[in-house]
Amino acid sequence: GAVVSQHPSWVICKSGTSVKIECRSLDFQATTMFWYRQFPKQSLMLMATSNEGSKATYEQGVEKDKFLINHASLTLSTLTVTSAHPEDSSFYICSARPLGDRGMYQETQYFGPGTRLLVL
């Protein structure tokens, strides 16, 4: 249990294009999902918190118009990097917090495998 998937696992795009990354909780429902970014040799940095059916909450310094987050269902959140530039190249990781008791820790976040984005 507690499997989170991300799609795609890696993507290469041209500068100026938009890229959508999907995050799915496969065997549980999650009212809250989180998006992180990780640059090489650095730790994970929280970008935003995504709540199902409401607007995402962005961390200071993260442009909400550039990183569009949609959490339309209890199992899916998407991150769209709009007008991507080379400096947006990074490892993007999502996590989800379970809703309800299914033998999983409700207070624990479970992470996806990450999406590596390279903007040329």
Partner 1 sequence: DAKTTQPPSMDCAEGRAANLPCNHSTISGNEYVYWYRQIHSQGPQYIIHGLKNNETNEMASLIITEDRKSSTLILPHATLRDTAVYYCIVRVNNNDMRFGAGTRLTVKP
Residues that bind partner 1 (CB under 8 A): 2, 4, 6, 34, 36, 43-46, 49, 91, 93, 95, 97, 105, 107-114, 116
Q: What are phi and psi of 88, to 5 degrees?
A: -85, -5
Give the nearer residue to partner 1 in terms of CB position, either 8 or 113: 113
Give the nearer residue to partner 1 in terms of CB position, either 6 or 84: 6
Give the nearer residue to partner 1 in terms of CB position, either 3 or 17: 3
Token pair listed for 108: 């624990």
Q: Considering the complex, what minimum distance in angstroms separates the CB of residue 16 from partner 1? A: 27
Q: Considering the complex, what minimum distance in angstroms separates the CB of residue 114 from partner 1? A: 5
Q: Considering the complex, what minimum distance in angstroms separates the CB of residue 83 from partner 1? A: 26
Q: How far apart are CA 9 and CA 24, in angstroms?
A: 13
Give the nearer residue to partner 1 in terms of CB position, either 4 or 19: 4
